[in-house]
Amino acid sequence: MRAVARWKAGAAMVAAAALLIGSAATAPQARAVGAVDRYLNLPMVNRDAAHGPGGVNPKLPTDPKVLKGLLDEARERGVAPTSYQALLLQYRLADTTAAAGIDLKSWNPRAGVSANRGNLAKSYQFYKNLQLKHRELQWAGMGGLVGADFGGGLLDFELATGVYEFTRLAPVANAIVTETNRAFGPATDRLPSGLRALARVGATITPADLKHVQASILVMQKNIFSDLMPMHRAYVTGGLPALREMHRAGLFPDDIMTSWEQIASKTPDGIAAGNARLLKREQGDVINKQWDAVRAYRGDVGEAMTYASTLAGSPSVAGVPPLRSYRPLQFTGRTADGRTVAVTLPLPSWNWSVFDERWAYITDELLPKYRYQVENRWPELRRELVMPADPQMEQHRPIWNVLPMMESALETLKVEIK
């Protein structure tokens, strides 16, 4: 009996010890259960990168491993995706920037081009790598090529000599306006408003103006990456279920979810339609208002600078004409003695910063011709995609060519009188 009693006492001690050990083991877990609460229902105050560096809210961590742990807790607790919306986007963005080699915490577009050159190159390289590995991700491939072209333009905007080039554009623009007026009489209102603005203020553009515009474009670049690249990263790492979680969280609307389903179908028409909608989101939803603000900057100054960018732009997609060659300046009129006059100038009649005009160029030229390259000229396109992004940016610095283009326009001004 005493042996039985001792056995019972020993068993009780073991049970007590096990209970204490179990309590000790579970106590930290119990304390950690509420760790995610402070990150729920946060506003995405920095989803527009104009407001500051880092991710979508400065209260959120930027380490993807930490963010994943918090996100897993929210999921395990059955928290509604709309309540962890900011946390989810921050995780997807942090995971994406880490994969691209970009430090999210310090990514500050307002720091200027030199400080962001590495981020630009890494962004566009990441885009191109996605296309190389996933043929259906055509938005990424086209964005990588065209983005590197615009990156080259940003490098030029930073140069102090860029101001000198702009000041030299003014007399050439004035000469074009004067020659047109000579042929038609007062015809200034028939010329593109950007060209007229360039004639008026090109000589007064300052380094501060260039810095303002370059910072605005860098903000747009980060906003595009932060909106669309997390979707792409979710697609390649988690498939449509990962995107559906983002959709349930309210990070994008129904038609964007449909576009991803079309892309995932891997049918040619589905891929084309889905990528076209992503591109319209980029240009129409994410950065449209920012382009409008740049064009409106200091009145004629913003108009002149965005027109000059249209004049210089030349996307690296085979078969796509330079921006200046799309809808060139053409108009007709009558001389004082009643004869018909036709004028053609190798200058754009439009401005890239205006959404409707930009979207017409994209749908007429970029989208169909990039699709053709993917479907019919993949080896040639692949050679462009594997080119490192930084050297590609260097090759497409346009400001060195803007003045010769304007002078050529003046020299080749054709006035036909009938």
- Residues 47 and 287: their CA atoms lie apart, in Å, by 12
Beta bridge partners of 417: 341
Q: What's residue 347's pLDDT?
A: 82
Specify the amino acid at residue 271.
I
- Residue 39 pLDDT: 97
Picking from 83, 79, 78, 72, the residue whose alpha carbon sits closest to that of residue 43 is 83
Structural tokens at position 97: 């920037």
Which residue's entry shows tokens 């190389």? Answer: 132
CB-based contact 58:114 (threshold 8 Å):
no
pLDDT for 12:
43
Which segments of the chain have a pLDDT < 70?
Answer: 1-33, 153, 155-169, 180-188, 335-336, 396-415
pLDDT of residue 30: 32
Report residue 40 as tokens.
Answer: 């729920």
Distance, CA of 54 to CA of 175 (rounded, Å): 47
CA 154 to chain centre: 13
Query: What is the per-residue pLDDT for 150?
Result: 74
> What are the residues facing 415 on neighbouring strands?
343
Q: Would you call 297 helix, strand, or coil by DSSP?
A: coil
Segment 196-227, tens digit of pLDDT? 898 888 778 888 888 888 889 999 999 999 99
pLDDT at 177: 76
Across the beta sheet with 328-334, the strand order is 328-334, 340-348, 414-417
Bridge partner residues of 348 (DSSP)? 328
